[in-house]
């Protein structure tokens, strides 16, 4: 029986970054963004608005200034760091977006701060400003390998301490050797060959 012709998988080029649409003309950014821009000229690269969320795209080197201002500024007062996470865009030179989700319990508003960070580029930790960021940054380090500096306790958090690689990166395979590779790479190779063999048959 003739083998069915293999349908070539449609390859979609990986996106090279988030769209970050600029705010529409009729939407004015919140007042504290203007204050921030005035206080720290050049620190805010752009602002973005999408489905009701405001995002500040900031200069990575000035994240500490921006964070301090956002926490202490009376019109911002972002006392709660709700989440810190990262996104991996491999084709881009500065491949990671580190995203800070901030919330103010006083004014009850939110903002997202985003910075672009390269693979080995040192990036200042905000855990001194919001202690909550401590574990979040540990997780980003664990999953993406973002090189945080000034972090009080930079260890892996979810993966084992001796894990190789950073699982959440886009070039890290979904299925893979995992622990088996660490224990005995040959076993894994044999297993993989057997599986490939089975696929061919």
Partner 1 sequence: MQPPAVHHGAMFDTDELVINMGPQHPSTHGVLRVVLRLDGEKVVNADVVIGYLHRGIEKLSENRNWTQIILLTDRMDYVAAATSNVGYCETVEKLLSLEVPRRARYVRTILCELQRIASHCLWIGTHAMDIGAMTVFLYAFRERELILDLFEEYCGARLTYNSMRIGGLPLEIPPGWDKKVLEFCKIMDSKIDEYETLLTHNRIWLERTKGVGVIGGPEAVALGMCGPALRGSGVPRDVRKDEPYAAYDEMEFDVPIGTAGDTYDRYLVRIEEFRQSLRIIRQATQGIPEGPIVGKVPRLIKPPAGETYHAIESPKGELGYFIVSDGKSTNPYRFRVRPPSFCNLQALPRLVRGHLVADVVALIGSIDIVLGEVDR
Residues 43-102 that bind partner 1 (CB under 8 A): 50-53, 55, 79-83, 85, 87-88, 99, 101
57, exposed or middle or buried, with CB in 10 Å at 0-12, 13-18, 19+? middle
Contact 144, 166 (CB under 8 A): yes
Position 41 contacts partner 1 (CB under 8 A): no
Contact status: 171 vs partner 1 (CB under 8 A)? no
Residue 10 tokens, joined: 């449609």
Give the residue ranges of DSSP H helices in the chain. 31-39, 63-72, 133-144, 179-183, 185-200
Give the interface segment with partner 1, choosing from 23-31, 117-125, 151-159, 186-194 (CB under 8 A). 151-159
Determine, following the binding rule CB under 8 A, whether residue 181 of this chain makes contact with partner 1: no
The string over 119-147, giving b where at least 16 C-beta atoms fall within 10 Å of a residue's C-beta and e elsewhere, is beeebbbbbebbeebbebbbbbbbbbbbb
Footprint of partner 1 on 99-138 (CB under 8 A):
99, 101, 105, 108, 110, 112, 130-136
Tokens representing 133 are 């960021």
Listed ranges 23-31, 37-45, 152-160, 187-195: which one lies at the site for partner 1 (CB under 8 A): 152-160
Answer yes or no whether residue 8 interacts with partner 1 by CB under 8 A: no
Q: Is 162 exposed, middle or buried (0-12, 13-18, 19+ CB in 10 A)?
A: exposed
Does 15 bind partner 1 (CB under 8 A)? Our answer is yes
Q: Which two three-digit tokens encode residue 113?
A: 């701060």
Is the Cβ of residue 134 or residue 190 nearer to partner 1 in the bound state? 134
Pairing state between β 148-149 and 123-124: parallel
Task: Decide whether 131 or 193 has the Cβ nearer to partner 1.
Answer: 131
Specify the residue, 92 or 112, whose C-beta has the smaller distance to partner 1: 112
Nearer to partner 1, 131 or 185 (CB): 131
Return residues touching partner 1 (CB under 8 A).
12, 15, 18-19, 21, 50-53, 55, 79-83, 85, 87-88, 99, 101, 105, 108, 110, 112, 130-136, 143, 156-160, 167-168, 172, 174
């Amino acid at each position: 029986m003739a083998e069915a012709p293999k349908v070539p998988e449609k390859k979609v080029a990986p996106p090279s970054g988030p769209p970050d649409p600029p705010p529409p003309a009729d939407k004015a950014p919140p007042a504290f963004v203007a204050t921030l821009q005035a206080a720290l000229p050049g620190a805010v690269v752009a602002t973005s608005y999408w489905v009701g969320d405001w995002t500040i795209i900031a200069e990575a080197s000035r994240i500490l200034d921006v964070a301090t201002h956002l926490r202490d500024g009376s019109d911002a007062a972002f006392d709660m760091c709700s989440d810190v996470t990262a996104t991996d865009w491999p084709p881009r030179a500065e491949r990671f977006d580190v995203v800070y989700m901030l919330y103010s319990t006083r004014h009850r508003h939110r903002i997202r701060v985003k910075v672009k960070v390269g693979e080995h580029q040192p990036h200042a930790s905000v855990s001194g400003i919001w202690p909550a960021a401590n574990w979040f940054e540990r997780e980003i380090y664990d999953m993406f390998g973002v090189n945080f500096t000034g972090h009080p306790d930079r260890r892996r958090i979810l993966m084992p301490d001796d894990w190789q690689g950073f699982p959440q990166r886009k070039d890290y395979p979904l299925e893979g050797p995992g622990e088996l590779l660490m224990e005995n790479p040959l076993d894994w190779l044999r297993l993989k060959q057997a599986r490939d063999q089975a696929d061919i048959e």
